[in-house]
Amino acid sequence: MSSVSTVIDQRDSLGTDFDTRVREALECDPPDPSRLHALGLEAGVAGKPEDALELLSRAADLCPDNAVYCLSIGRLLAAETMFNQAALAYLRAQELAPNDVTILTELAIVLRQLHKHEEAKAVTAHASELTSAKALLATKTP
């Protein structure tokens, strides 16, 4: 994984504008985690997973109770087929947002990749129960 200084110093497909925005985001005291998160997502889309992971991890470190930041890390790691690390990120996201169906569904996919089929089945069942409960509540709400 590259350091944040390497992320800033690189001149790659993201260009100097990206570098400038990263530098500005890091110069804030304290850095804005939502801004680092957005830059991390941008780096991921641009095909720079190491830079993306560095920025997303920095955002998660600054705001450890944010499930979305953990979810983003899990998605990036899963896309890079780093399923063990992805599972850890998804489990942290689930811990922070235990009833989030998206997190549960994506966790189940990663668990299947790790051949943890029984765990994946249980997570999928929980996600289905939550989806059914939400649908039932929606039909009862005027």
Q: Domain check: are 25 and 70 in the same one? A: no
Q: Which domain holds residue 42?
A: 1-63
Q: Domain check: are 37 and 48 in the same one? A: yes
**What's the domain count of the chain?**
2
Give the domain CATH number at 134.
1.25.40.10
Q: Domain check: are 48 and 83 in the same one? A: no
CA distance 24 to 104: 35
Q: Domain check: are 31 and 71 in the same one? A: no
Last residue of a domain, one of 63, 91, 112: 63
pTM score over 0.95: no
CA distance 26 to 23: 5
93 burial type by CB count under 10 A (0-12 exposed, 13-18 middle, 19+ buried): buried
pLDDT tens track, the chain, 142 positions: 445 555 444 445 566 788 888 888 878 778 899 999 999 999 999 999 999 999 999 999 999 999 999 999 999 999 999 999 999 999 999 999 999 999 999 999 999 999 999 999 999 999 999 988 777 777 765 6
